[in-house]
Structure 1
Amino acid sequence: MPRGFESHPLRQENSSRNTSIFQGLSRTRRRVFQVVSPSPLVLLTTEGTYPFAPGGVTSWAQELLKRLRARFIVFALWGPQQIPKIPSLPRNVEKVMVVRLFSQESFPLTLARQPLLLEKLESLFGFLEGDLVAFGEGLYGLAKASGKASSLSGVFLSKEADEILRRRFTSVLGRTPVLAERLLTLGQLRGMLVNLLQIPPVADIAHTTVNGLGAIPAWLASRHYQIPLVLTEHGVYLRERYFALFALNLPPALSLFFSLFFKNLARLIYHEASLCTSVSEFNRYWQIELGAKPEKTMVIPNGIDPAKFPPAPRHLENPPTAVWVGRIDPLKDLLTLVQAFAFVHKALPHARLRLFGPVPQGNEVYAQEVRKRVEELGLGKTVTFEGPISPVYRAYHTGWATVLSSVSEGFPYVVLESLAVGRPVVGTRTGAVSEIIADSGRVVPPSNPEALGEALTELLSDPRLCLELGALGRERVIRKYTLENMVESYQKVYNTLCESGQRQRDESP
């Protein structure tokens, strides 16, 4: 978490702060919400995660949806790649709608002027000056007026749109953007929004799992139907977009344009949301830093079912073994982990590192790079690639400790699962990792192989310490991070919003 955050005044006791937030929700009069039923229909919006891609958000959604007293429409954003087969879903999921971003459909170029759409596009560009009112009017107006994706696509490709962008962006950029910059910007914006700007189905509550493009459908539903908007952030989307834009090495004009777009989109959602929940104090801190009002923020940690993670044996078998579980991905920074284990190998030549997890499509080159690094460091017999394992607790049982080397995390289930079986974790200081581990392991800076190797060497040299820290971790998970606690908290959010909507409706003239 940010340096000095341990003593930050925002770090209050969760229970007392959450109680006051629920009271504030029940009293809110900012908007007269429609009446909602005891089993509300929730529009749940996702982006590149549930119900298709494995990961923390999908695990969270799978466990939450099937246990909440609510019905769901899942509105899932997906990329241009083929849409995967929808897996088996809980009974209370009534519909899944999938919107593809950056799809390759060929829309005819519309030459006729469309004054209403152009007027709303002009408003949308208000984000360039930080005008959230105009920005919101533009998003909502385009969604209401577009009708067909081909009509909206034609507007983004029109000469009039190019002129609007040239005029509005010049003062922000400090020069007139050249034609190539304008066309690239409009093309990227079209790919993001042309299929997305539509009014979603009617619901009682809109709940977005991300504060970015995936939040737009939830925000549109909240505005159109006058229903509560709940934001749950598993990571800090805006920070991740900044990192992604930097990695793309875009022309400076495009980087500036889309940095402003995502910044003001995040501000709009933080401002309009009835409640901003996060999975950790780390994320809540950044929500407030980026514009959320503290009184509208609340931490609901993720949770697991301890019964599904039986305690690991209390006797540790040789050789000393560190376990890594996850998908092989650059964000997991396995190159740093392998480098760190080279330091471990020098101190403990008999120690082992076992890597459990799949190689997602598109990450094959990175996986080969990791294997190459293993061989270059002479660790071919020390580091093994085990592939996926099920049930996953079996992986944790094989080790003395679990390691997490990621450069970016939200609320990693791997840490919870390892602690739940009684195995300590050496993790990097990112996302909620420090909060979850606390005194149940070791936390080191990300991208620091020396520090990671030193912490691993400490634990793999001392089996008694591993068992002591693991016991503390299991007790901590059972006390604080159970699935039951998580579900009860979200059910209370929905119930409070339902009661508030009913009461405000009754009191309205």
Structure 2
Amino acid sequence: MALEGTYPFHGGGVSTWAHILCNKINKFNFKIYSVNAFYETKPKYSLNDSILEVVQVPIWYALEPKEVIRFDDTYYDFILKKEFLFLDDLEKKFIPIFKRLLGCIYSEHIDADELIEVFVGMWYFFQENDYKLVFKNEKIWNVFKEELMLYTEHYGIKDISLLDLTYAMRWIYHFLLPISIDFPKTEIIHLTISSFIVLPAIIQKYLYGTPILLTEHGVYIRERILAISQSNSSYFLKDFLIRLSECSARASYHQSDIIMSVNKFNFKWELMYGAEQSKLRVVYNGIDHLRFKPLEKPKEFEGIPTVVAMARIFELKDILTMIRSCRVVADVLPNVQYRIHGENDAVPEYTSKCLKLIDELGLQKNFFFLGPNPKPEVVFCEGDISILTSISEGFPYTIIESMSCGIPVVSTDVGGVAEALNEDCGILCKPKDPDDIGKAVLKLLQDHVLREKMKIACRKRVEELFTIDKFIDQYEEIYEELLQMRR
């Protein structure tokens, strides 16, 4: 199973999903290929015996992955690559492939077959040559500059600085790093994101015919476009990074034998980027409904209108809009409490913005960041309702966990949320609209009878559609189907 920035070293919805899968699947064992920004010293989760191996690939670490972790290469082979880079090979073998890659990035219609050929060719070259030495070579830098100036001139992109080009080259270097670290050999490859984590999967499929399953939670390319568009980078860098991300998405959809989504919303994006309709399927997330069950609201919160959230504090969760909605509610219910549980140091600068806004709006007694909580089943039952204000989602666990506890939900209508949350279980709102969200929160907090009615409907819907048993049964069937493809 290949993951990026999530399991087993970081929390979040994808990590919850992966942990359930690795712990509950009985017929299969797992080897984890974990791409992270930096080298992680300790897993966040306890790993059971079904996880046979964990390979880390820290793509933004100061050292190369092979310099900090023991892989299958012998020390002699590793050092030999460091000592020799045959410039003739660089000229004749790598530079033509590298130019083809840049051509794919700037193509108006990316040819997925061409991309796969390029990646396989690069992999072969790095079997004999050191990744770092190749990309640090002056000839590669010069080719990169010359080719990009030609492409950007063609597209009318101007005012490109040397710093811009340097950043673009760094992205190429770091994002392609997984091509130099092979997957452990397995019968099936399960990708959990359509990023450049696909590179070693492409190689395994090319060499051994290994079938590939891709599960998309949020659509990677959609979320990249959202994040990149909101960044402060130059137009050139935004354009380059979006194009680079489009390449990984198209390669992922092209190579995957089955493309599994946690919602149907993802389909239109996947089709837009080249996925075949026949490959698309949906399996909704499932939870342990016996663990997430209705409990009495704690006595210390009696008489206090309480809104709870389980959310990692970063941009996609749009906590700033959540805070502004709290101001709308507090104007009517001055003693309302928004209690936010979740990792609050993932993006420190964003957390600082949130704390500043809380002060500006005078919500110090209404809005609280409480940090991670290992017992979400207890957290949800502290509230009268729960809230989610994301601008992008897959099929969020927080929605169905809250529903399973009998707690109605106010959520933005993004991703697959509407496939989980119907009008009997909560209220859907427009993203980035604190007034709309605040009014929905007020409606539920001020109507006890409606909340009680929704409580019953929430629990019933989870028991019928979103149990962990249904989820595991479906994945075991899919894994068996993929094994048959291999045979």
Please tell me the TM-score bracket, short chain as reference: 0.7 to 0.9
Q: Secondary structure at the match of 1:258?
A: helix
Q: Residue 327 of structure 1: which of 306, 312, 316 is its match?
A: 312
Q: Give, as a single letter, the amino acid of the residue that structure 2 aligns with 1:370.
A: C
CA contact (8 A) 2:297 2:382 kept: no
Query: Retained in 2: the 8 A contact 1:156–1:187?
Result: no
Q: Report the Cα distance in structure 1 between the residues aligned to 2:431 and 2:437, rounded to whole angstroms.
A: 8
Out of 153, 156, 161, the residue aligned to residue 132 of structure 2 is 153
Is the counterpart of residue 255 in structure 1 residue 238 in structure 2? yes
- Equivalent in 207, 217, 236 of residue 190 of structure 2: 207
Task: Name the CA shift for 1:195/1:272 in 2 (closer, same or farther; >3 Å).
Answer: closer
Alpha-carbon distance in 2 for matches of 1:180, 1:322: 46
Please say if residues 410 and 440 of structure 2, whose CA atoms lie closer than 8 Å, have aligned partners that are also in contact: yes
Letter in 2 for 1:347: V
- Identify the residue that residue 75 of structure 2 maps to in structure 1: none
Specify the alignment match of 1:424 in structure 2: 408
Counterpart position of 1:383: 367
Indicate yes or no: 2:320 matched with 1:343: no
> In the alignment, is the contact (CA less than 8 A) between 2:314 and 2:346 conserved in 1?
no
Alpha-carbon distance between aligned partners in 1 of 2:40 and 2:342, rounded to the nearest angstrom: 23
Give runs of ≥4 in structure 1 deviating > 6 Å: 106-109
Deviation for aligned residue 1:232: 0.5
Gap regions ≥5 residues in structure 2 = 65-81
User: Helix, strand or coil for the counterpart of 1:479?
Assistant: helix
Change (3 A) 1:58 1:390: closer
Q: 2:118 corresponds to which letter in structure 1?
A: G
Distance in 1, matches of 2:248 and 2:95, equals 20
| Partner of residue 254, structure 2 | 271
Give CA deviations for 1:254-296 in whole Å, capped at 9, x if unaligned.
3322322221221122122111000001112321232211111
Which residue of structure 2 lines up, in the alignment, with residue 401 of structure 1?
385
**Aligned residue in 2 for 1:374:** 358
**Compared with structure 1, are the counterparts of its residues 201 and 238 closer, same or farther at alpha carbon in structure 2 (3 Å cutoff)?**
same
Which of 395, 408, 413 lines up with 2:397 in the alignment? 413
Equivalent residue letter for 1:123: R
Contact 1:442 1:455 in 2 (8 A): yes
Q: Secondary structure at the match of 2:215?
A: strand
Distance 1:338 1:251, change over 3 A: closer
Say which of 289, 312, 328 aligns to 2:295: 312
Partners of 1:178 and 1:390 in 2: CA distance = 47
Q: CA separation in 1, counterparts of 2:305 and 2:164? A: 55
Structure 2 partner of 1:93: 51
Structure 2 residue identity aligned to 1:162: W
Asked if structure 2 preserves the Cα contact closer than 8 Å seen for 1:444 and 1:452, the reply is yes
Residue pair 2:286, 2:469 contacting (<8 A) in 1 also = yes
Tell me the residue number matched to 2:79: none
1:465 to 403, 426, 450: 450
Contact 2:178-2:199 within 8 A present in 1 as well: no
Contact 1:323 1:402 (C-alpha < 8 Å) held by counterparts: yes
| Letter aligned with residue 444 of structure 1 | C
Q: What residue in structure 1 maps to residue 68 of structure 2?
A: none
Distance 2:258 2:204 in 1: 15
% identical aligned pairs: 28
**Match for residue 162 of structure 1?**
141
Partner residue in 2 for 1:239: 222
What is the TM-score with the length of structure 2 in the denominator? 0.87
Alignment of 1:101-116 (within 5 A): 101-105=59-63, 112-113=87-88, 114=90, 115-116=92-93
Partner of 1:484: 469
SS at match of 2:180: coil
Residues 304-336 of structure 1 show CA distances to partners (whole Å, capped at 9, x for unaligned) of 010111213399942221112222223222221
Contact kept in structure 2, 1:321 and 1:401, CA below 8 Å: yes
Give the corresponding residue for 1:117: 94
Structure number with higher relative contact order (C-alpha < 8 Å, ≥ 6 residues apart): 1
2:429 matched to which residue of 1?
Answer: 444
Letter of the 1:131 partner, please give it.
Answer: D
Aligned Cα root-mean-square deviation (Å):
2.4
What whole-Å deviation, never above 9, does each CA across 1:143-180 have from its counterpart, x for those lacking one? 222137x7222222334323443454345322597755
- Aligned residue for 1:83, secondary structure, equals coil
Aligned residue number for residue 73 of structure 2: none
Task: State which of 113, 120, 123 in structure 2 corresponds to 1:140.
Answer: 120
Report if the CA contact (8 A) 1:426-1:443 is conserved. Answer: yes
